[in-house]
Amino acid sequence: MKSKVFVALDQTEWKDIERLTAALKGSGCGMKVGMELFYAHGPKAVNFIHSHGFSVFLDLKLHDIPTTVGKAMSNLLQLPAVMYNVHVAGGTHMMQMAGKALIDSGRKDVRLIAVTQLTSTTEDIMQN
């Protein structure tokens, strides 16, 4: 993974994605594709950003039953992203299934990380 900084692409309008990739081309940053963008444009967004020379962090925070996450991860690993994530709340077995999918893919250029808390989590939410 060559990028150390990933710019969040939280826009869903295609013209905004085109404008941002053009403006940041050659900057050395990567691009983070989150749920909003991925659900609006799917693999097209990841492929487009990658084709413009950016490393892609696919930030979907996978969280479901272990088998489903494993299969989803296998499918997502067909995309040219270099980082993916799961949510820790899904449990150890779920995270292991995501890791197994990564190992089975044979890809060595990918990092799989786990999210423990969302930035929107307040102290009140944590206590209740």
What average pLDDT does the segment 82-91 reach? 97
Q: What is the pTM of this model?
A: 0.91
What is the distance between the alpha carbons of residues 55 and 50, in angstroms, rounded to a whole number? Answer: 6
Show Cβ contacts of residue 92 under 8 Å, excluding neighbours closer than 6 positions.
none
What was the pLDDT predicted at 16? 95
Query: Looking at domain 6-127, what is its CATH homologous superfamily?
Result: Aldolase class I (3.20.20.70)
The whole-chain average pLDDT of the chain stands at 94
Whether pLDDT at 3 is above 90? no
- Tell me if residue 44 is catalytic: no
Q: What is the pLDDT of residues 107-121, one digit of tens each?
A: 999 999 999 977 777
pLDDT at 126 over 90: no
pLDDT per position as a tens digit, 45-70: 999 999 999 999 999 999 999 999 99
From 61, 71, 100, 108, the catalytic residue: 61
